[in-house]
Structure 1
Amino acid sequence: MIIYGSTISPFVRKCVAFAREKNVEIEVRAAGMGRGGPDFEEASPFRKMPALRDPGADGGRDFTISDSTAIVHYIDAKHPEPNLIPLEPIARARTIWYEEFGDTIVMAAGGKLFFNRFVGPKVLKGGFDAGIADAAERDELPPILAYLESVIPNSGYLVEDRFTLADLAVAAPLANASWVGAAIDGTLYPRTASYVEAILARPSLADLVERDRAIVRGMMEA
């Protein structure tokens, strides 16, 4: 399978790590921000990353799809073990909720931070507003962290006391926020800080996080 995008994006990182947890071989091809070419545009008509191509999967033709949720659910259906999206109804509903929480609520705050402190000034060289990032860190991030502090179980996993898509979707965007000055305060949110650190240290994520953090910090300091 081919995933188009950059793992600096939490959505791309989620897909790549999900595939790794499933022991599915993935090739990541750079795309987005003006890159990717016709193959990427075929897989993602609106040029949003991530996108996926599964060669020959559709009756001998390539199967393509975009959006991280569609991609992880496709991978899960095709490779059901190890199970990362629970089948038990309540656990499944909670997992879907946490993925949506990560993709929308966490990303709404984290995206403002990451765009206005890194993507705008360092990648696009313009079109950013530092005040938006400051407001997101001050007003939007604390309720998110307080919520997580109240719901993370003693097991350190959000659903069924084991690693699931829920953990991956929640932790991935919080990594990006920490790279641009919004690290989780362990004195205020000790459970959340320990939880995110442990999830990001998993073998499916650790090398991606370390590499992308170094890239971001290098560009921030340049």
Structure 2
Amino acid sequence: MIIHGARPSPFVRKVIVFAAEKGIAAEVQPAGFGRGGEGFLKGSPFGKIPALEDGDFLLCDSTAIITYMDALKPGEEMIPVEPKARARTIWYEEFGDTIVQAAGSKIFFNRVVARFVKMTPDLAAADKAEAEEMPKLYDYLESVLPESGWLIEDRFTLADLAVACPIINVAYASDGLEPARWPRTSAWLAAVKARPSVAAALEAEWQAVKGMLDK
């Protein structure tokens, strides 16, 4: 199985970690930014990352890919089976993929990616997102995180992974998540990053991120 994409992408990271949590062996091949192998070009006709190549089965979009992966290996699903837990997990994925990512990308793209791809960064937009948008999201997380430290079923699920991935990118370029103000959220993010699957993904992507930070 091959995952096509750029490792620092929150959506690519989500699929890489999801595969590791499910015990699915996957090779990661670089794609995006105008590059990619034949499997990526065929599997993602609009250049969306990540894309999946599993033999002759090709698929793009992180949500579609993880849905496929979860069904491949039933048992201890990352997407819970119990109806209410399942529905809330899907909400948290939507929250991470659209709401958190929309705010967080203003910080990560403008402070990190823009210079790397030779675009003019909008640092004012990054500063505004850090000061006005992200605190509201951290406030929300602080209010919904259970005592267990995990969003759903007192265990690590897609809910935690999907919400954490864009925040991880924010943390590469911002120290706005203050433990004194958001202790539960800070502890939760640290626990996510400490999981072996996530730690391995972060280690593998660090050189790419460092290359962008050093630009």
TM-score where L is the length of structure 1: 0.93
| Mapped partners of 1:211, 1:137: distance in 2 | 26
Q: Deviations over 1:181-203 (max 9, x none)?
A: 24411011010000001011101
Give the AA of the match of 1:204: S
Aligned AA (2:33): M
2:196 alignment partner, SS class: coil
What residue number does 1:180 align with?
173
Q: 1:157 aligns with which of 150, 153, 164?
A: 150
- 1:6, CA displacement in angstroms? 1.6
SS of equivalent to 2:7: coil
Q: 1:141 aligns with which of 134, 148, 168?
A: 134
Aligned residue type for 1:174 = I
Amino acid in the other structure paired with 2:85: A
Alignment of 1:74-153 (within 5 A): 74-121=68-115, 123-153=116-146
Matches of 1:8 and 1:216 in 2, distance apart?
A: 7
Counterpart contact for 1:179–1:213, Cα < 8 Å: no
Q: Distance in 1 between matches of 2:164 and 2:158?
A: 10
Report deviation, 1:126: 1.5
Give the TM-score of the pair, scaled to structure 2: 0.96
| Equivalent residue number for residue 6 of structure 2 | 6
Q: Which amino acid aligns with 1:25?
A: A
Matches of 1:22 and 1:5, distance apart in 2: 19
Cα pair 2:39 2:58 within 8 Å, conserved: no
Displaced runs of 4 or more, over 3 A = none
CA drift of 1:9 comes to 0.4
Cα separation, partners in 2 of 1:192 and 1:78, compared to 1, 3 Å:
same
Contact residue 179 and residue 217 of structure 1 kept, 8 A: no
Mapped partners of 2:159, 2:139: distance in 1: 17
Alignment check: 8 A CA contact 2:6 2:12 kept:
yes
SS of equivalent residue, structure 1 residue 204: helix
Query: Where does structure 2 lack aligned partners over 5 or more consecutive residues?
Result: none
- Structure 1: give runs of 5+ residues left out of the alignment: 56-61
The Cα offsets for residues 158-197 of structure 1, whole Å up to 9 and x where unpaired, read as 0011111101001111111010124411011010000001
- Report if the CA contact (8 A) 2:113-2:212 is conserved: no
**2:162 counterpart residue number:** 169
Aligned partner of 2:158: which letter?
L
CA distance in 1, matches of 2:176, 2:74: 34
CA–CA distance in structure 2, aligned partners of residues 111 and 170 of structure 1? 13
Question: What CA distance in whole angstroms lies between the structure 1 residues aligned with 2:208 and 2:38?
Answer: 27
1:47 to partner: Cα distance: 0.4
